[in-house]
Amino acid sequence: MKKPLLNLKNKEIGHVELDQSIFGNKTFPDIIHQYIRYQNAKSRQGSHKTKSRSEVSGRSKKPFSQKGTGNARQGSSKPPHFRGGAVAMGPINRDYSFSLNKKEKKLALKSTLSSKLKEDKLIFIDSFKTETHKTKDLNKTLKNFSYSSALFIYSQDGIDKNFKLASSNIPLVSSLSQKGLNVKDLLSYDKIFIEQNCLKEISKRLSWN
């Protein structure tokens, strides 16, 4: 599968050969949805906590006499119906994460990349190297492309220092190593720019072996 290879000025300078097994997959909305749930669950803090009767500070002595007050008998001032008492069936600390097997994760990523490619929202760039670290210059260069938000995927060798400095101040533009490639980010951005030298790394990472 061949796709045009562009430079940062949006000029075609060649072609890239894409792995059909990764970029030519069917779209599986259920697998993608499961992966998004998995990501959201992992990012939940889960530190919500209310005090039970045993944790509320105070004495467990009877608040008043058993008889003669006209009130219903009480054994303690810690029950939920007392002001300052415990919370009945309140939240406790918990881990919301759940497991997702490797094949499902890979299939979700393949499905998302394939879907983006079908929508012409994957753009392959020869290099992200820029001559200057000025945001103004990079912003002017990126205006050659049409996008509402953009994610730049670079190889594990790192991203050009000038590009990183210049892009950090542009709204709705982010960069991400292919190591951190995930479904949520791929779906959150309009256009995905992939550096040529990380295509092999993506193919190796998403192979079934």
Q: 198 near 155, Cβ under 8 Å?
A: yes
Residue 208 confidence (pLDDT): 73
Q: Which residues pair with 174 in a beta bridge?
A: 151
Give the C-alpha distances (Å, rounded to integers) separating 31 from 6, 87, 163, 179: 31, 38, 34, 20
Which CATH code fits 2-44+100-206?
3.40.1370.10
116/48 Cα distance (integer angstroms): 37
According to CATH, where is 3.40.1370.10 located in the chain? 2-44+100-206
- Distance between alpha carbon 59 and the CA centroid of its chain, in Å? 47
The total of other beta-carbon atoms located within 10 Å of residue 86's CB is: 19
Give the C-alpha distances (Å, rounded to integers) separating 47 from 43, 95, 99, 114: 12, 9, 20, 37
Residue 126 confidence (pLDDT): 92
Per residue in 178-190, pLDDT (tens digit) is: 999 999 999 999 9
Coil vs helix vs strand at 74 = coil
Per residue in 87-131, pLDDT (tens digit) is: 999 999 999 999 999 999 999 999 999 999 999 999 999 999 998
In 3D, which of 189, 141, 177, 164 has the Cα closest to residue 7? Answer: 141
Q: Which amino acid is at 144?
A: N
Q: 165 near 133, Cβ under 8 Å?
A: yes
pLDDT tens string, the chain, 209 residues long: the values are 889 999 998 899 999 999 999 999 999 999 999 999 999 999 999 999 999 998 999 888 898 899 999 999 998 989 999 998 999 999 999 999 999 999 999 999 999 999 999 999 999 999 999 989 999 999 999 999 999 999 999 998 888 899 999 999 999 999 999 999 999 999 999 999 999 999 999 999 998 75
Helices (H), 82-134: 102-118
